[in-house]
Structure 1
Amino acid sequence: MTVRLTHPDGMLRQTDYAPVAVATGSRLVLLAGQAGVTPDFRPAAPDLAGQVHAALRNIVVGVRGAGGDVGNLARLTCYVVDWVPEKWDDVLAGIARAQESEGLPSPVPPLTIIGVQALFSPEFVVEIEATAVLE
């Protein structure tokens, strides 16, 4: 495996994501921000949890298309419209769906959430960027 997720001693002990990913490999895959959309550019769901799930599904499709798999994901950055901490449970629900349907690891790789005013379309409430490392 090219990515090892860790929780070094002395760091905050969260259970939903690993704070550190140690990656070795020869190919770096950088995925553009993926919205929670269908291939025909329509929102896959009206809610945050559904769009997180769909965005993660799109990331998995992209990583697999590059010759990797979910175990190669080393970093996720989520841009959430009008972020407030109360939205965390919806983000987690979308992640859980992707863990069940797409095999996303648990805990997920290092994850950063950034609140934004808007995305490409007013129907989109989340966009997720990803970095993967392949052999």
Structure 2
Amino acid sequence: MPVTLINPAGLLNTDALRYRQVAIATGTRQVHIAGQVAYDANGQLVARGDLAGQVAQAFRNVAIALAAAGATFSDVVRLTFYVVDWKREMISDFLAGIEQVAEELKIKPAPASLIGVSVLFEPGVLVEIEATAVVG
């Protein structure tokens, strides 16, 4: 397996937040997924006003992009989340979105950053997810 995910002793244990502090990659091919939002295949925004629903759909879109590159969530070494008007009390809805699709997509807890932003490129879009994977 080209990716090993760990939480080193001395750093916050992030298991409950579904990410690890460190990814060690031994593969040779990098896959960079552009920010994915909660659009369906027809370009319609899914789950308007629902952070959990949009997180779930954005993850589904990341999975489609990974598959197109011959990768899966097992190959992901980094996730970056951009969330509109982020407040700490939104964590439950955010994590609920991940839980909705975690088993379906076999999401692995890769190192991640969550960045609060005032707006994304279009009104109604609440979250955008970027991914980096290493395969082979």
Cα shift readout 1:35-67 (whole Å, capped 9, x = no counterpart) = 011012211212000100111111111111101
Q: Deviations over 1:52-110 (max 9, x none)?
A: 011111111111110111200111100000000011111111111121221112xx111
Please provide the CA RMSD for this pair.
0.9
1:71 equivalent to 2:74? Answer yes
Correspondence for 2:34: 32
TM-score by length of 2: 0.94
**Which position in structure 1 is the counterpart of 2:97?**
94
Q: How many angstroms apart in 1 are the aligned matches of 2:11 and 2:71?
A: 29
- 1:51 match: 54
SS in 1 for 2:36: strand
Q: Which consecutive segments of 4 or more residues in structure 1 shift more than 2 A?
A: none
2:64 counterpart residue number: 61
Q: Tell me which amino acid in the other structure corresponds to 2:2.
A: T
Q: Distance in 2 between matches of 1:49 and 1:3?
A: 27
Structure 1 residues not aligned, in runs of 5+: none
How many equivalent pairs are there?
133
